[in-house]
Amino acid sequence: MIREQHEVSVLGGPQNPAPVMSTVVQVQADTVVPDHIVWSLFNTLFFNTCCLGFVAFAFSVKSRDRKMVGDMIGAQSHASTAKCLNIWAVILGIFMTIGLIVLLVFVLPGILQNVMPNRHF
């Protein structure tokens, strides 16, 4: 059986009579970088025109990763790109939705009336 012995030595006060210096690190809490991840997820699911919602979601995740590492400049850059892509995804998605409604309401009945002249829609 092996026994280990530990020696504990008590150290006295500081050897140097100079005053003790301390360093204070201030973290700026007001630097909040929004990553727009919820908006990007919404656009990915509902307004994914030309895959802009998915690409915006990828940049949002990159922004969140940069924020976790502490790179606020990189996080801001990716968040800005995600925001721009989200805006374009919403605009194009709304235009395509309006175009589809116009197509279904005005164009499709005319085409059906020409194809089947016996029926009235």
Alpha-carbon gap, residue 43 to 53, rounded angstroms: 5
Specify the pLDDT at position 23. Answer: 73
Specify the pLDDT at position 14. Answer: 58
Specify the pLDDT at position 41. Answer: 95
Burial class (CB in 10 A: 0-12, 13-18, 19+), 26: exposed
List alpha helices for 1-121, DSSP H: 37-46, 52-69, 72-102, 108-115
Average pLDDT over residues 4-24: 64
Specify the pLDDT at position 59. Answer: 97
Q: Decide if pLDDT at 34 tops 80.
A: yes
pTM for the full model? Answer: 0.65
**64 contacts: CB under 8 Å, gap ≥ 6:** 35, 37, 75
Alpha-carbon gap, residue 17 to 21, rounded angstroms: 12
Q: Taking the C-alpha atoms of 95, 96, 98 and 100 in order, what is their torsion angle to the nearest 10 degrees?
A: 160
